[in-house]
Structure 1
Amino acid sequence: MSEKINVLIKKCIKGEQKAQMDLYDLYCEAMYYVACRYLIDEEEAKDAMQEGFLKAFLKLNIYKDKVSFGAWLKKIIINQCIDVLKKKKLETVSIENQFLEIVDEDTSWEFNYEISKENIVNTINKLPEKYKLVLKLYLIEGYNHSEISEITKLPIKTSRTHLRRGKMLLRELLKEQNYEAKY
């Protein structure tokens, strides 16, 4: 962790508001973009980001520098966004007792050169909430199924199934937009 951030964190723990503003200024833009990936409404994203920062400032005394401060803060912001989605009655259905097929997660996700990351993210945003959330956490944020399960409170099997079904729907939507996957 950079010494500057370490000093700011110590000052924030002591309640120094200038240090809080400095820390906020360092991370607010990046955390806003994280929130926007989960909450399409910009005002909701701003509110979730603000609430996430408030929670982080209240929990700074338990922050351990085993992970970077940015990664720790990002997890708080994502959890805050998930809370907002849950309040909107995000419905996730446990499929513990349903038949699950084993899938190869190493499927190629290379598309033709004309497709942009922005187009993929916009297409993901058209998916049902339960798939959209898992896809973003897995494909964009890089979380594994254990971490997704911890964040969303979904069983790991459900996370895997939502990812697989979400990928299938995403692939179909991209095909409809004339983007062909290379296999």
Structure 2
Amino acid sequence: MSHLAQQALPLRPITGLAPEMSDAAAVRGVIAGSREMFEVIVRRYNAQLYRVGMAYLRDHAAAEDAMQNAYLKAFLHLRHFNAQAAFGTWLTRIMINECLMILRRKKRSMMETIDDSEARPGRQLRAMVAPDALANHELKSLLEDAIKTLPRVHRAVYLMREVQELSTKETAQCLSLSPTNVKVILHRAREGLKSQLMKSAAGVELFDYTAVYCDPMTSRVMSAIRSV
């Protein structure tokens, strides 16, 4: 990234960070020279990008690699963000591109059809114990494993809409789909999972990105940003 590093923003440390700061304000601060302001963005979007990574890659380490690369690219190209779309959508698109690059490097298929013959979550779930007999952490693990069996586009739509709580429009923009397709895919993703399991899982935080992961990731990203 030597040619990108030459375009990097100057370092101007700040004394405090405001979690309630808007994305636009944080972006303006970084462009103005306060690299440390980028930490606001990293902490705010860690969970969302992690869920995107798990939807595409189904692997914790690979998702974190994609996150770090996505943040660094976003930082280096921050001046190109034109604010016509939401910042979160722009950042999510960068993350998706990173995931696709990882998949290409692994020579895996870039796309999965919604009727992928290998995705049979219903068959697996029928043999599972009733959700109401499980502890929350067991249910969470069970549901995450079931979601991993869905086709990639189903995983992405389900996690963005049901877990991250993005709107249909936002999800469509992130995934380059039409709002109608998002609705259809979400319906099929729900149908692919056992209905009773879904009902019992209401309110369970899926693929959460706790401080155990969030703090080291934030530290790594900020360290990389300070070095360019």
Q: Which residue does the alignment assign to 2:64?
A: 46
Change (3 A) 1:77 1:9: closer
Question: Offset at 1:6?
Answer: 8.6
2:140 to 117, 136, 144: 117
Q: How far apart, in 2, do the equivalents of 1:181 and 1:50 lie?
A: 34
Residue identity matched to 2:71: F
* Cα deviation, residue 169, structure 1: 0.9
Q: Which moved more, 1:120-129 or 1:79-88?
A: 79-88
**Counterpart amino acid of 2:132?**
N
CA distance in 2, matches of 1:167, 1:133: 12
**Distance between the aligned counterparts of 1:143 and 1:25, measured in 2?**
18
1:161-176 aligned at under 5 Å gives the runs: 161-171=184-194
Alignment match, 1:37: 54
1:3-60 deviation line (CA, Å, top 9, x unaligned):
6x9987555324455555x557745854664454333223321232122212332326
Q: Which gives a bigger RCO, structure 1 or 2 (Cα 8 Å, sep 6+)?
A: 2
SS at match of 2:54: helix
CA distance in structure 2 between the aligned counterparts of 1:153 and 1:180, rounded to whole angstroms: 26
Aligned-residue CA RMSD in angstroms? 3.8
CA apart distance, 1:118: 3.5
For 1:56 and 1:131, locate their aligned partners in 2 and report how far apart those are by CA, in whole Å: 26
Q: Distance in 1 between matches of 2:111 and 2:24?
A: 37
Q: Which moved more, 1:76-85 or 1:118-127?
A: 76-85
**In 2 relative to 1, CA 131–24 (structure 1 residues): closer, same or farther, beyond 3 Å?**
closer
* Contact kept? 2:51, 2:159, Cα under 8 Å: no
Query: 1:82, CA displacement in angstroms?
Result: 2.3
Rounded to whole Å, the distance in 1 between the matches of 2:170 and 2:25 is 30
Query: Relative to 1, partners in 2 of residues 1:151 and 1:17: Cα closer, same or farther, differing over 3 Å?
Result: closer
CA distance in 1: counterparts of 2:46 and 2:171, whole angstroms = 24
In structure 1, runs of 5+ residues without a counterpart are: 94-110
Alignment length (residue pairs): 153
**CA apart distance, 1:143:** 1.8
Partner of 1:112, secondary structure, is: helix
Q: Is structure 2 residue 94 aligned with structure 1 residue 80?
A: yes
Cα separation, partners in 2 of 1:85 and 1:62, compared to 1, 3 Å? closer
TM-score of the superposed pair, with normalisation by structure 2: 0.50
The percent identity for this pair of structures is: 19
Structure 2: gaps spanning 5 or more residues = 1-18, 104-109, 115-130, 201-228
Shift in alpha-carbon separation, 1:81–1:13, aligned structure 2, 3 A: closer
SS in 2 for 1:146: helix
**CA distance in structure 1 between the aligned counterparts of 2:68 and 2:49, rounded to whole angstroms:** 9
Deviations 1:94-128 (CA, angstroms, capped at 9, x unpaired): xxxxxxxxxxxxxxxxx636353343222111111
Give the whole-Å Cα distance in 1 for the aligned partners of 2:25 and 2:82: 13
Does the CA-based 8 Å contact 1:35-1:49 persist in structure 2?
A: no
Q: Does 1:137 align with 2:137?
A: no
**Cα distance change, pair 152–2 in 1 and its aligned pair in 2 (3 A):** closer
